[in-house]
Amino acid sequence: MFTQINSNKVYTQIIDQIKESIARGELKKGDRLPSERVMSEQLGVSRATVREAIRSLEIMGLVECVQGEGNFIANNLENTLVEPVSMMFILNQGKIREINELRRALELEAIKLATARMAPLGLKKLEELCRIMETSPEEAARAEADKQFHYEIAKASENGLIMNILNAAATLIELQIKDVRQKIFANEKSNDSTNTQHRQVLEAIREKDADKAACAMQTHMDHISKFIEAYKESENH
């Protein structure tokens, strides 16, 4: 009967215009937006309204605002979804279990894809990271290598979406439990089994056996989340 009337708040339209401009390729990563004063003039709206639109994009990590310099399309989109996901998670009173399950889903898909798409150079990096985790005397270095190991796999999946959300999930876990690795492995011989698991993942990738790799990763994830949930549990008591 009647067509839905879309309120079309002005700031929404501005955001849409910026989005379209990006989609059309007029704005690319790192590009500078026109100054707020110029934009407000071009769009025929007040500067305050332009700022509300830009602010939203900034919080989402799509725009970087530098005082005295200008507003830029973000170069690095890696942390784009951390804020939104974390907010949504808090507001939903989410459980750590949910993040673990999400992470497992993505790691499993990522490694399947990565196994097919991994380049020799990536394999070499994974090899090196395994070595560091096994031999480095400093926990900090081992922890960093651990992160990198999973990051390399995500990268090799050649899927920006999965990579991004995976990063958000990992960050969210860190937010919930500071220094996860330290707390889990500090008083554990568990380090050895973790290293073994990483090795098995690496070997499976090398053999281009996606199912085997996924299986190895699944074991690894189960191992980790068992500790995380146990830790979180003990914290609440």
Partner DNA sequence: ATAACCAAAGTGGTCAGTCCACTAACCAGT
Partner DNA sequence: ACTGGTTAGTGGACTGACCACTTTGGTTAT
User: What residues line the site for DNA (CB under 7 A)?
Assistant: 9-11, 33, 35-38, 40, 44-49, 51-52, 54, 65-71
Residue 14 interacts with which of DNA, a copy of itself, none, CB < 5 to 8 Å by class: none
What does 37 interact with, of DNA, a copy of itself, none (CB < 5 to 8 A by kind)? DNA
Asked if 235 and 133 touch (Cβ cutoff 8 Å), the reply is no
DSSP H stretches of helix in 157-209: 160-176, 180-185, 190-206
Residues 137-176 that bind a copy of itself (CB under 8 A): 157, 159-162, 164-165
Question: How many Å is the maximal CA-CA distance in the chain?
Answer: 72
Least distance CB 87 / a copy of itself (angstroms): 6
Q: 145 or 217: whose CB is closer to a copy of itself?
A: 217
Minimum CB separation from DNA for residue 56, in Å?
A: 12
The CA dihedral of 56, 78, 173, 107, to the nearest 10 degrees, is 130
DSSP element (H, E) containing 212: helix 210-235
Q: From the CB of 175, what's the least distance to DNA, in Å? A: 23
Q: Which is nearer to a copy of itself, 191 or 218 (CB)?
A: 218
User: Residue 236's beta-bridge partner residues?
Assistant: none
CA–CA separation, 11 vs 47, rounded Å? 11
Q: Which of 60, 67, 114 is nearest to 86 (CA)?
A: 60
- The H-assigned helical ranges of 68-206 are 82-91, 96-117, 120-135, 139-156, 160-176, 180-185, 190-206
- Which tokens hold the place of 163? 């990579």
From DNA, a copy of itself, none, interface partner of 30 (C-beta below 5 to 8 A by class): none
Bridge-partner residues for 71, per DSSP? 65
Token pair of 224 as six digits: 């980790």
Give whichever of 40 and 159 is closer to a copy of itself, judged by the CB atom.
159
Nearer to a copy of itself, 67 or 234 (CB): 67
Distance in angstroms (rounded) separating the CA atoms of residues 220 and 133: 15
- Binder of residue 194, out of DNA, a copy of itself, none (CB less than 5 to 8 A by kind): none
Q: How far is the CB of 4 from a copy of itself (least distance, A)?
A: 16
* 62 binds, options a copy of itself, DNA, none, Cβ within 5 to 8 A by partner type: a copy of itself
Residues that bind a copy of itself (CB under 8 A): 7, 11, 15, 19, 22-23, 29, 48, 51-53, 55-62, 67, 73-74, 77, 80-81, 83-85, 87-92, 94, 97-99, 101-102, 104-106, 108-110, 113, 157, 159-162, 164-165
